[in-house]
Amino acid sequence: MRKIPRWLARAPIPLFRAGLGILLGRRFVMVEHTGRKSGQARHVVLEVLLREPDAVVVASGYGRASQWLRNVEATPRVRLWWGRNRGVAGRAHVLAPEESRRRLDRYRHEHPGQARIVASALGLPELTSAEPLPEDIGRRVPLVRFEIT
């Protein structure tokens, strides 16, 4: 998988902190999570793959190596910023690999244009193929559901 430069990945954080997350629309969410070793607040901006009435679902493009994923597994309590919403309490649920695969399949069929962009950015050509998704994609690309509490 391709790595997005750290400076680019962190660039939207000041926008969210300043209350300007609305400029990024509803496609992105900033998650405040707790460092599993430091106990300090950490922030990450993630692309929303799927929206539900009380939750958003995001992908860990770098798999289980993502620090934010490891942090929310250790401490699921989070705060979420999106649009005009700031610091909304939430809880992270890492989806099972089979459920991640099912939702990735739904995402690529419902949002083929966005799936092409995500596939290109993360080096995941499977998301643009008409073929069934590989059985292991849910393990390689875990999904996390952030439920608003």
| CATH number for position 21 | 2.30.110.10
Strand partners, 79: 32, 89
Q: What span, in angstroms and rounded, lies between the C-alpha atoms of 134 and 92?
A: 25
pLDDT band at 27 (very low <50, low <70, confident <90, very high): confident
| Structural tokens at position 30 | 């900033």
Residue 117 has pLDDT above 90, yes or no: no
Host domain of residue 143: 6-148
| Residue 127's pLDDT band (cuts 50, 70, 90) | confident
The yes-or-no verdict on residue 2 having pLDDT over 60 is: no
130 versus 91: the higher-pLDDT residue is 91
The predicted pLDDT at position 3 comes to 64
CA distances from 34 to 11, 28, 47, 95 (A): 20, 19, 19, 19
Check pLDDT > 90 for residue 98: yes
Is 76 contained in some domain? yes
What pLDDT does residue 42 have? 97
pTM beyond 0.85: the answer is yes
Examine the pLDDT at 109 and tell me if it is beyond 80: yes
Q: Please, what is the average pLDDT of the chain?
A: 91
Domain count, the chain: 1
80-95: burial string, b at 16+ Cβ within 10 Å, e else: bbbeeeeeeebebbbb
The continuous run of DSSP H or E covering 49 comes out as strand 41-52
Has residue 1 been placed in a domain? no
